[in-house]
Structure 1
Amino acid sequence: MKRIAIFPGSFDPFTKGHENIVQRAIPLFDEIVIGLGVNNKKQYMFDTESRIKHIQSLFPNQNVVVEAYTGLTVDFCKEKKAGYLLRGLRNTNDFEFEKAIGQMNKDLNGIETVFLITDKEFGAVSSTIIREIKINGGDVSQFVTNLNFLIINK
């Protein structure tokens, strides 16, 4: 049976911290599906297609695919026949939040959550902070690879 993991998130934008988690998980799974969750009620800074192209550009010729999805992550996992959710942890707050979600997903669908602790240089990197820096005209290139793919929503 293939070991397929879903790495879900809005990835608005996909940071070097996200990239680091995926790179470290590649040897652990036969396939990693980066699930770009789309919620039509949410306003994203970067458009969906450019986020997908951005993420795809980071993992050429690897066992990583990128797909947008709507609805429950556990339903996306079923669709993709994934047995694992991949999550990155930056701090204890992340752990407590992700632990509760992981336990609920296990109860709902039997899916296992695999946690990787973020490397220390990415511990303070968050998409929310990066969006704030970008909105205010700051340079985010040290936190995001391949910025040329990202198109800001109008």
Structure 2
Amino acid sequence: MIRAVCPGSFDPLHNGHVEVIARASSLFDEVIVAVSTNRSKKPRFGLEERMDMARETLTLLRGITVEPMGEGLLAEFCRSHGAGVIVKGLRSATDYNYEVPMAAMNRQLTGVETVFLAADSHYTHLSSTLLKEIASLGGDISDYVPRAVLKRFTSNDGE
């Protein structure tokens, strides 16, 4: 059995994330969606709410579990969960240049390999930061996020 980890802050989870996670679920026996807290970003949604949105959205996918990643290293999370693979979606060369050094370090620290999945062209322009900004200015993000996420945005209009 091959277990993979698909990490991210998922604040919010968007259709690009879902597409990468769905593809990962067809490649690996189990995929743990590891929801992290990124200290360098101001979150729109709390950890539990982001995990709930992910669980609600990904419920029909085979072999998916959603767990909090905690404050530690991703490589250590993988080791403690018996995962030998990290799955990362790439939208552009900028993502690649950012992710490759981390992949090399994770492999050196624990032997965990990173698999990069190129984003579908429909989603290369999406980022959680951009979607939060659009929503905060009253823009329509309904084509870019799952229903569970859109529901939380519309119920939290004051933010």
Provide the C-alpha distance between the structure 1 equivalents of 2:98 and 2:143, rounded to a whole number of angstroms. 27
1:10-54 deviation per Cα after TM superposition (whole angstroms, max 9, x unaligned): 010011000000111111111000000124675311122221111
Aligned to 1:96: 97
Contact 1:85 1:112 in 2 (8 A): yes
Aligned to 1:29: 28
Secondary structure of the residue aligned to 2:23 is helix
Larger relative contact order (Cα-Cα within 8 Å, sequence gap ≥ 6): 1
Aligned to 1:148: 151
Pairwise CA RMSD: 1.8
Provide the C-alpha distance between the structure 2 equivalents of 1:42 and 1:119, rounded to a whole number of angstroms. 25
Aligned to 2:110: 109
Secondary structure of the residue aligned to 2:95 is helix
Aligned to 1:79: 80
Identity percentage of aligned residues: 35
TM-score by length of 2: 0.89
Unaligned ranges ≥5, structure 2:
none
Aligned residues: 153
Structure 1 runs of 4+ with >4 Å offset:
39-42, 149-154
TM-score by length of 1: 0.92
Aligned to 1:43: 42
